[in-house]
DNA sequence: GCAAAAGTGTTGTTTTTACACCCATGA
DNA sequence: TCATGGGTGTAAAAACAACACTTTTGC
């Protein structure tokens, strides 16, 4: 009972998702930023951004902080994903509290030592980070079906086609534009503006996200003070 | 940077749900076991069963172990719930990896120092454990809607009325017996036996749970070796 | 026979899905 | 004017919900 507890360290990492459109007109793809490790273990491999949990900071705060420090990014959505604590996941004993985040395109900025990768085509990552990303992707795909997190990947104003492309990129299948339109407007979470996106063919109306509606129902956690992001 | 990391300790706790039928014929209620604290902090208050994470054990293993040590119970379903790590949740800095579990009635046994409480009517608990239970209940109510975890609360053989009562206890509302019956048998997760529960009025057919179907889809986590429970 | 729970049928409503069709613009 | 994506209409199919009704037992 009560073995050498002191030897366990707590880290916090984040899987950050964003969208990238290779060239205008193309379908967007899910991408994520990784940092290159500059020391052992796994020196030279890519890894999730993260760092050690500070003695005087909460988990959510640590996730925001380490994320900012390593990538300079401040995401629009941040949620705890899972705690990974297998004994052999690192040479030393580390329990990682992993978060996942969504980034709007305007929030994307380029930082030294950060590389962006297609989520569907990742290299071999440090530690168990490949499994972690797989799990985060699974969560993202599930959650997009019953919440409004897709908006966390879009700018303030967007067309319905753009929103639909987000869903298509995440779910990896085509959606019927007509039915998609009806579904989002029965959910009453979008506010139509009087502006239009022009350029292609018939101008498309721009919508804004209704901020009265939460991106996702977090249940009792949303009342806890630790969970204040943005 | 890299502050006194060594001062953070990792604990593992579990919210265990089971059902209790006050007297035969009554509707079952969701109950959970708590242990009375025998030392500071919060001496005398009830708390979730748990303990420190061992230096050489995974998170899932620690949850099973601490649960067995404190309550003598071995649940039919065990899943990670959330990591709680607010700075002020304990006098010393503790990050708790919390699990939640389901217990079949035949698995319930009475142990010294363990009390069973109605989930809807809890006393003031130690630490932030009231909030944790609230969150676990929310998760249970949600998950019962899109998975088959309700079976984790029932014995091997059960009638459809008994299964329906589990849903009713968790969701806290009546369900239409006719529609409920149809829903479960279009889902093809129950195997009818040729035995019947007699006693009340017309005998009710006993069903068995189809073990080919997982209680809940855990995504990529179900492939990880750490996640082997039962 | 009667009460009560087991189990079946029926019907109307809502949601989902597929797809035909019109509209507005750039080239 | 034509190609293309924006946007509307419609109808079949599936899922859901409400509730009447029949069956089988204990007393």
pLDDT for the residue numbered A113:
85
Whether the CB-CB separation of B115 and B37 falls below 8 Å is answered with no
Give residue B69's Cα distance to chain centre: 17
Å separating the CA of residue B72 from the C1' of nucleotide D14: 47
CA of A207: nearest nucleotide by C1' is D6
Residue with tokens 């149809």: B182
Calpha distance A220→B37 (Å, rounded)? 25
Angstrom distance (rounded) from CA B105 to CA B197: 17
Q: Is B145 part of the contact surface with chain A (CB cutoff 8 Å)?
A: no
Predicted pLDDT of residue B129: 98
On the CB side of A182, CA atoms within 13 Å amount to 4
Tracing tokens 């630790």 back to the chain, one arrives at A226
SS3 A20: strand
Query: Which CATH number applies to B5-155: 3.90.1150.10, 3.40.50.300, 3.90.79.10, 2.60.40.10?
Result: 3.90.79.10
Q: Convert the pLDDT of each residue in B23-51 to its tens digit.
A: 777 899 999 999 999 998 999 999 999 99
Placement of tokens 């959606």 in the chain: A175
Q: What is the pLDDT of residues A119-176, one digit of tens each?
A: 999 999 999 999 999 999 999 999 999 999 999 999 999 999 999 999 999 999 999 9
> Phi first, then psi: what are they for A78, rounded to 5°?
-145, 125
Say what the pLDDT of residue B227 is.
45
pLDDT for the residue numbered B74: 83
Q: Would you give the distance in Å from CA B180 to the centre of its chain?
A: 23
Per the CB < 8 A criterion, the answer to whether A98 and B184 are in contact is no
In contact, A163 and A205? CB cutoff 8 Å = no
> What is the CB neighbour count within 10 angstroms for residue B126?
19
B178 contacts chain A (CB < 8 A): no
Interatomic separation, CA of residue A28 and C1' of nucleotide C1, rounded (Å): 73
Topology of A5-221 in CATH? Nucleoside Triphosphate Pyrophosphohydrolase (3.90.79)
Q: Which residues contact A55 (CB under 8 A, 6 or more apart)?
A: B3, B4, B5, B7, B8, B93
Does B92 reach chain A within 8 Å, measured CB to CB?
no
- Ordered alpha helix ranges (H), B44-159: 59-71, 129-146
Give pLDDT tens digits along chain B (230 positions). 444 445 899 999 999 999 999 877 789 999 999 999 999 899 999 999 999 999 999 999 999 999 888 888 889 899 999 999 999 999 999 999 999 999 988 766 777 789 999 999 999 999 999 999 999 999 999 999 999 999 999 999 999 999 999 999 999 999 999 999 999 989 889 999 999 999 878 999 999 998 888 888 898 988 665 543 43
Chain B residue with CA closest to A226: the answer is B86
Q: Buried b vs exposed e over B67-100: b needs ≥16 C-beta within 10 Å? A: beebbbbebbbbbbbbbbbbeebbeebbbbbbbb
CB B203 within 7 Å, strand C: yes
Give B119 CA → D23 C1' in Å.
38
Residues A106, A107, A113, CA angle at the centre, nearest 5°?
125
The nucleotide closest to A200 (CA, C1' atoms): C26
User: How many Å apart are CA A204 and CA A214, to the nearest integer?
Assistant: 25
Smallest CA–C1' distance to C25, residue? A202
Helices (H), chain B: 59-71, 129-146, 160-171, 177-186
pLDDT at site A192: 94
Looking at the complex, does the CB of residue A145 fall below 8 Å from at least one CB of chain B?
no
Cα–Cα distance for residue pair A151/B7, rounded to 1 Å: 39
Q: Where are the beta strands (DSSP E) in chain B?
A: 9-20, 29-36, 46-47, 50-52, 77-84, 94-102, 114-118, 157-159, 190-197, 204-209
A53/B135 CB distance under 8 A:
no
Q: Is the CB of B183 under 7 A from strand C?
A: no
Whole-number mean pLDDT of chain B? Answer: 90
Q: Are A162 and A177 in contact (CB under 8 A)?
A: no
Contact at 8 Å (CB) between B103 and B229?
Answer: no
Looking across all nucleic acid strands, the nucleotide with the smallest C1' to CA distance from residue B201 is D25
Give the domain ranges of chain B: 5-155
**Nearest chain B Cα distance for residue A55, angstroms:** 6
User: Which ranges of A44-156 does DSSP label H, i.e. alpha helix?
Assistant: 59-71, 129-146
Question: Which bases of chain D come closer than 7 Å to a protein CB?
Answer: 3-10, 16-20, 23-26
Provide the CA B165 to C1' C12 distance, Å, integer: 27
Which is nearest to A17 in space by CA: A85, A71, A93? A71
Task: For chain A, count helices (H), then strands (E).
Answer: 4, 10
Which parts of chain A register pLDDT below 50? 1-5, 227-230
């Amino acid at each position: 009972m009560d073995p050498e507890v002191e030897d366990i360290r707590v880290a916090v990492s984040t899987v950050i998702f964003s969208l990238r459109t290779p060239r205008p007109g193309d379908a967007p793809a899910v991408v994520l930023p990784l940092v290159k490790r500059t020391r052992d273990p796994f020196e030279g491999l890519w890894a999730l951004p993260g760092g050690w949990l500070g003695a005087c900071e909460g988990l959510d705060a640590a996730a925001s902080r380490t994320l900012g420090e390593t990538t300079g990014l401040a995401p629009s959505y941040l949620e705890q994903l899972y705690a990974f604590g297998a004994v052999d996941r690192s040479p030393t004993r580390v329990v990682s509290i992993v978060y996942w985040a969504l980034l709007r395109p305007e929030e994307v900025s380029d930082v030294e030592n950060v590389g962006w990768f297609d989520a569907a085509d990742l290299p071999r990552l440090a530690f168990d980070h490949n499994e972690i990303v797989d799990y985060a992707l699974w969560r993202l795909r599930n959650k997009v079906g019953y919440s409004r997190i897709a908006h966390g990947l879009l700018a303030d104003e967007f067309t319905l086609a753009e929103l639909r492309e987000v869903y298509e990129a995440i779910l990896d299948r085509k959606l019927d534009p007509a039915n998609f339109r009806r579904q989002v407007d029965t959910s009453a979470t979008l506010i139509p503006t009087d502006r239009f996106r022009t350029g292609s063919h018939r101008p498309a109306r721009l919508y804004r996200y209704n901020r009265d509606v939460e991106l996702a129902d977090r249940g009792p956690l949303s009342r806890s003070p630790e969970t204040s992001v943005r």
